Amino acid sequence: EKVAAALYRQNNSSSRTTLKGRVNIVRLGHPARVMSSILPFCLENKIKTSSDQYELAKDVRNEIKDIQRSLTATGTNTGSNKREKYTQLKNLRKELRTREADAVKEVLKNCNIVFATIAGSADRYLKDDNGFDTVVIDEAAQAVEASCYIPILKGRKLVLAGDHKQLPPTILSTQAAQQGYNVTLFDRMIKTYGDAVVRQLLVQYRMNETIMNWSSSELYHSLLQAHPSISHHLLSDLKNNLDDNHKENKEKEEMDEDKKEYMKHAIVYIDTAGSGMMESTVEESSSNNSNKQSRKKLTAAGGNFSKANEGEAEILLTYIQLLLSLHIS
């Protein structure tokens, strides 16, 4: 959805340096489950704003309401008249379904980019559509292979985007995992074809390079690079963290030097050795009774325990409160 939102903003900006012409975007899915920033191109909104069939369906819906009101009016419905109105209702409802389906098809036909979840790509309106030039599955390293075939069958070219070095898909069934269900299509393609099908992105735009260095050396053969815009950024570089009230209050604006020191480092190490902060190990519980058996098996295999350290959690909370006191949000 963040990709969709960024593409939508770019598409509607006055400067289109990265898009070749204007693209028409639609997002399938219930509007209540999507980010507010992409509501303008959710299917329901696109139908209302860009489909001629929507207005025709609206007229049919009004006719249905008029007939339903007349049926509840007293003294106006004889036997034959009543039957005739029910026949009209039946025909109008059929027409309404047809026009609503045509409205959806009209929007989808005019869109050249369709966003959906993997399961959402099984939408009935895409049932017969296998003519997409390219199917892109984002976070493919967290998607089980079987689910990927839902969108794959709708296109002629496939792009799997993801990182198999990070979180795998969640598989609750040990039996399914043992039979290979936990191996993703992303993993299998890399193991089968190797570098012939892989294009690694080397520049990251999220973290200071000091934070990046460990994962780069341990997981990515020290190939990752931090973009210059963020390679050395620190909390101390942030501007306008103080609201107007704070700016007017000189006492709040003058930060304690010890506190400000925490903002000058990308990584802060806090030594807890000898502090008596011992780890505790707890067995995860599940409110889902249907999964109890599989969870017991995971526990027996040593894979269903969580570690916790309340003392370290309290230190972390103190550090977060310190940052908040400096108006970092």
- Look at residues 19, 18, 17, 38 and name the one whose alpha carbon lies nearest to residue 28: 38
How many other CB atoms are found less than 10 A from the CB of residue 298? 19
Strand ranges, E, within the chain:
25-27, 113-115, 132-137, 155-160, 203-204, 225-226, 280-283, 305-308
Residue 41 pLDDT: 82
Measure the CA angle with vertex 192, ends 187 and 193; round to 5°.
105
Q: Are 56 and 101 in contact (CB under 8 A)?
A: no
Alpha helices in 111-182 (DSSP H): 145-152, 174-178
Q: Can you give the pTM of this predicted structure?
A: 0.71
Q: What is the pLDDT along the chain (329 residues), one digit of tens a residue?
A: 666 666 666 666 554 444 455 678 888 888 777 777 778 888 888 888 888 888 888 899 999 998 888 888 766 667 778 888 889 999 999 999 998 888 888 888 888 889 999 998 998 878 766 678 999 999 999 999 999 999 999 999 999 999 999 888 888 888 998 898 999 999 999 999 998 999 999 999 999 999 999 999 999 999 999 999 999 999 888 764 444 445 445 555 555 666 777 788 898 888 888 888 888 887 665 444 444 444 444 444 445 678 889 999 999 999 888 888 877 76
Residue 279 pLDDT: 86
**What gap in Å lies between CA 198 and CA 189, rounded to an integer?**
9
Q: Are 53 and 99 in contact (CB under 8 A)?
A: yes
Residue 236 pLDDT: 82
**What gap in Å lies between CA 279 and CA 267, rounded to an integer?**
22
